Amino acid sequence: MRLLTFSTLILFSLIIILHSSSTTKAHNITRILAKHPAFSTYNHYLSVTHLADEINRRRTITVLAIDNAGMQSLLDKHLSISTLKNVLSLHILVDYFGAIKLHKITNGTTLVSSVFQATGAAAGTAGYVNITNLKGGKVGFGAEDNDGSLHSFYVKSIDEVSYDISVLQISQPLSSADAEAPTSAPSAINLISIMSKQGCKAFADLLRVSKALSTFEENIDGGLTVFCPTDSAVNDFTPKYKNLTDAKKVSLLLYHGIPVYESLQMLKSGNGVVNTLATEGANKYDLTVQNNGEDVKVQTKVVTASIVGTLIDQDPFVAYKINKVLLPRELFKVSEMAPAESPKGSSGSKKKKSSSGNKKGKEESSSSSSSDAPADGPSADDEEADDQKAADHNIGAKEGVTFIIFFFTFFIGILLL
Ligand SMILES: *[C@@H]1O[C@H](CO)[C@@H](O)[C@H](O)[C@H]1NC(C)=O
Ligand SMILES: *[C@@H]1O[C@H](CO)[C@@H](O)[C@H](O)[C@H]1NC(C)=O
Ligand SMILES: *[C@@H]1O[C@H](CO)[C@@H](O)[C@H](O)[C@H]1NC(C)=O
Ligand SMILES: *[C@@H]1O[C@H](CO)[C@@H](O)[C@H](O)[C@H]1NC(C)=O
């Protein structure tokens, strides 16, 4: 009898552990810092610069928070918002350092990549932060381009969710000449050179000699998102491109731009039809953004491309690398590229918030979007997405079963006692 009760208890604890491990919630840095008024200025600027979205999107991240006095010293430098974004992004480390790990760094010193480094805005090693364990339990921080001087120190842990997010207060902002360098006004961004350097040379070469380039450039100030196909995708497509008339070539290139800034977080948080730079009149040359958890796909009626990387994200301009050339139905037959995919129920199709005013907000039902938008055959990406969907279902089912076992065990336990 006693043995039974004992094993029931063990089963009980196992179930509780199993259940709690399967439900990790996404963090929200705005909400975390809202509980700490001493960091309200920092919190405010994380939102203004869209870095809050970047933090919420990432896992295994450390936020080095600066209190209001420290932020005032930074604001006194009268940096532009895009420069301030660079400085603050240096304070977001793409690795997890809780207070304990921070004081036990292997060999006492390490270089950690920051979001400043990860977004490609930093030159050389300027986006790395040196963390060093010092005498008397102190921990020093310094930007790597700052002659190795460790001028900011760990103060306290504000919030930690193990191996997800750690928010630590440091004594003063990390200073970095590179992060504080005036960022070029968006209109001066050299679209062609950025794309060429970041692995989109073939597409940039097409754009360089096209009339479409000026339309891209005119839109940078007001907000511009560019989908840049990889070199191999463009090279495969070249024979077809050469076959197009000049006007159609321009339309095809313009089809790869959206006249509004769409951060990755914005793309991930909603599905919908968007206008492109080639759009004139209703329903012409539009694209469908379709996210599936962490994956973002860009669909035309002819082809489905996946976002495979970010070239630059400097609000109001962002460029993503995609794995296929976007083929508009206005120029290519739906059947031309590949056989139609069998209709597949896609869940979670929600209307995108039309804050930008650019979205048509046309909500496509899952059935119509899959039947009239045949993709280019089931790709590895699609299969991956399905696996993910299946995994999500499994978690749901597991939770249901867990609850039933939980109550059943509870009942038996009470009977036995
Ligand atoms: C995070 O929290 C803030 C404040 O509570 C809220 O306005 C915002 O929508 C939240 N963001 C997400 C992605 O849930
Ligand atoms: C620590 O130092 C040793 C000896 O200098 C070196 O071999 C090792 O790679 C270092 N470990 C790290 C994580 O830097
Ligand atoms: C970090 O800075 C300290 C002090 O300048 C230096 O001694 C150390 O080597 C640096 N650590 C790394 C990993 O570069
Ligand atoms: C180019 O266009 C012609 C005529 O429309 C067509 O027959 C040919 O297959 C096209 N070539 C390519 C590579 O698409």
The series of mean pLDDT values per 10 residues for the chain, 417 residues long, is 55 50 71 97 93 88 97 93 91 94 91 85 83 92 86 96 95 92 65 83 93 88 89 95 94 94 83 90 86 87 92 83 94 65 38 37 34 35 37 41 52 57
- Reported pTM: 0.54
Nearest CA to ligand 1 atom 8: 30
Looking at the domain assignment, is residue 350 inside a domain? no
Q: 145 and 57, same structural domain? A: yes
pLDDT for position 34: 97
> What tokens were used for 59?
């896992």
Q: 301 and 202, same structural domain? A: yes
Q: 329 and 259, same structural domain? A: yes
Q: 269 and 401, same structural domain? A: no
Q: How far is the CA of 33 from the centre of ligand 1 (A)?
A: 11
**Residue 240 near ligand 4, beta carbon < 6 Å:** yes
**Residue 107 near ligand 2, beta carbon < 6 Å:** yes
pLDDT for position 2: 57
Ligand 2 atom, smallest distance to 106 CA: 13
Looking at the domain assignment, is residue 354 inside a domain? no
Nearest CA to ligand 2 atom 7: 107
- The tens digit of pLDDT for each residue in 67-107 reads 999 999 999 999 988 889 999 999 999 999 999 999 989 88
Report the C-alpha gap between 174 and 42 in whole angstroms: 13
**Residue 107 near ligand 4, beta carbon < 6 Å:** no
Q: How far is the CA of 155 from the centre of ligand 3 (A)?
A: 20
pLDDT for position 340: 41
Q: What backbone phi and psi angles, to 5 degrees, belong to 106? A: -55, 130
| Pocket test residue of 109, 111, 125, 141 for ligand 3, highest count of atoms within 8 A of CB | 109
pLDDT for position 370: 33
Q: How far is the CA of 30 from the centre of ligand 1 (A)?
A: 6
Looking at the domain assignment, is residue 375 inside a domain? no
Report the C-alpha gap between 19 and 296 in whole angstroms: 29
Q: 108 and 223, same structural domain? A: no
Looking at the domain assignment, is residue 200 inside a domain? yes
Q: 211 and 271, same structural domain? A: yes
Four-residue CA torsion sign, 353, 311, 338, 379: negative
Looking at the domain assignment, is residue 42 inside a domain? yes
- The tens digit of pLDDT for each residue in 229-285 reads 999 999 999 999 999 999 999 999 999 999 888 888 788 877 889 999 999 877 789
Domains in the chain: how many in total?
A: 3
Q: 119 and 45, same structural domain? A: yes
pLDDT for position 325: 96
Looking at the domain assignment, is residue 114 inside a domain? yes
Q: 287 and 207, same structural domain? A: yes
Q: How far is the CA of 118 from the centre of ligand 3 (A)?
A: 21
CATH code for position 204: 2.30.180.10
**Residue 106 near ligand 2, beta carbon < 6 Å:** yes
Report the C-alpha gap between 387 and 395 in whole angstroms: 12
Q: Which ligand is nearest to the CA of 107?
A: 2
pLDDT for position 6: 53
Q: 241 and 149, same structural domain? A: no
Q: 43 and 20, same structural domain? A: no
Looking at the domain assignment, is residue 175 inside a domain? no
pLDDT for position 415: 57
**Residue 214 near ligand 4, beta carbon < 6 Å:** no
Report the C-alpha gap between 387 and 176 in whole angstroms: 43
Asked whether the beta carbons of 305 and 237 are under 8 A apart, the reply is no
Q: 280 and 410, same structural domain? A: no
Nearest CA to ligand 4 atom 5: 243
Nearest CA to ligand 2 atom 10: 107
Looking at the domain assignment, is residue 180 inside a domain? no
- 346: CB partners within 8 A, 6+ apart: 290, 292, 366, 369, 370
pLDDT for position 408: 56
Q: What domain range is 3 assigned to?
A: 1-26+381-417
pLDDT for position 342: 38
pLDDT for position 382: 37
Q: Which ligand is nearest to the CA of 336?
A: 4
Q: 332 and 196, same structural domain? A: yes
